[in-house]
Structure 1
Amino acid sequence: MDYLGIAGWAFGALAALGALGAAYVRVRSSVDNATAEIWKGEAEAQKARADRLEAQLEELSGRVARLEAENRHLSELVTGQAAIADLKAIVTAQHQELISLIRNEGS
């Protein structure tokens, strides 16, 4: 074989290696793009799920707050503490008025 034949074989081998390398890069890029699309879809699904869970949590927090307020109100009604406090204030005020009327009449 002469130098031209050897050079032809070398150039052909390099061209084949280059083509294989380009094919590998193309396949690898396609796989990476497909993987990225899968992960992007998964991320969007997880974000939508997180948004739904956040909305449900806010709704439950509001319901718990309303139930606690209603529970306090019902507890006050059952124990009568608010009514007793109001009655005590009225009796104390009227007692003071009577004492001052009695003292004024005696003077």
Structure 2
Amino acid sequence: MDLLSLSGWLFGSLALLGALSAAYVRVRSSVDNATAEIWKGEAEAQKARADRLETQLEELAGRVARLEAENRHLSELVTGTAAISELRALAVRQHEELVALLTP
């Protein structure tokens, strides 16, 4: 083997190695891009789900607030505190009117 054929083999081997490296980089880039697209779609789906859950949570918070207000109102009706308070005010007012009529 002379120097020319040895340099030809060496140059050919380097060219083949360069071509294989370029092919690997191309395939790897393609796989990475496909993976990125999949993750992007997954992220968008998770964001949409989070938005839906946030809306549902706000609706539930509103419903809970309304139920608590209704519960307080029903508790007042059951215990009669509002009715007793109104009855007391009425009795005091009528007593004052009677005292005013009876005093000369």
What's the counterpart of residue 21 of structure 2? 21
Aligned length: 104
Higher mean displacement: 20-29 or 70-79? 70-79
Deviation of 1:45 (Å)? 0.8
Q: Does 1:74 align with 2:74?
A: yes
**Unpaired segments ≥5 residues, structure 1:** none
Aligned letter for 2:79? T
Q: Which amino acid aligns with 1:93?
A: R
Please report the TM-score for the alignment, with normalisation by the length of structure 1: 0.85
The alignment status of 1:93 with 2:93, answered yes or no, reads yes
Using the TM superposition, give the Cα deviation of residue 3 of structure 1 relative to its aligned residue in structure 2, in angstroms: 1.5
- Structure 2: unaligned runs, 5 residues or longer: none
1:4 equivalent in alignment to 2:4: yes
Deviation at 1:90, TM superposition (A): 2.5
**Which deviates more from structure 2 when the two are superposed, residues 88-97 or residues 26-35?**
88-97
Distance 1:92 1:11 in 2: 114
Equivalent position of 2:30 in the other structure = 30
Q: Distance in 1 between matches of 2:102 and 2:25?
A: 107
2:57 match: 57
Deviations 1:69-96 (A, max 9, x none): 1111122122221111112123223434
1:41 lines up with 2:49 in the alignment:
no
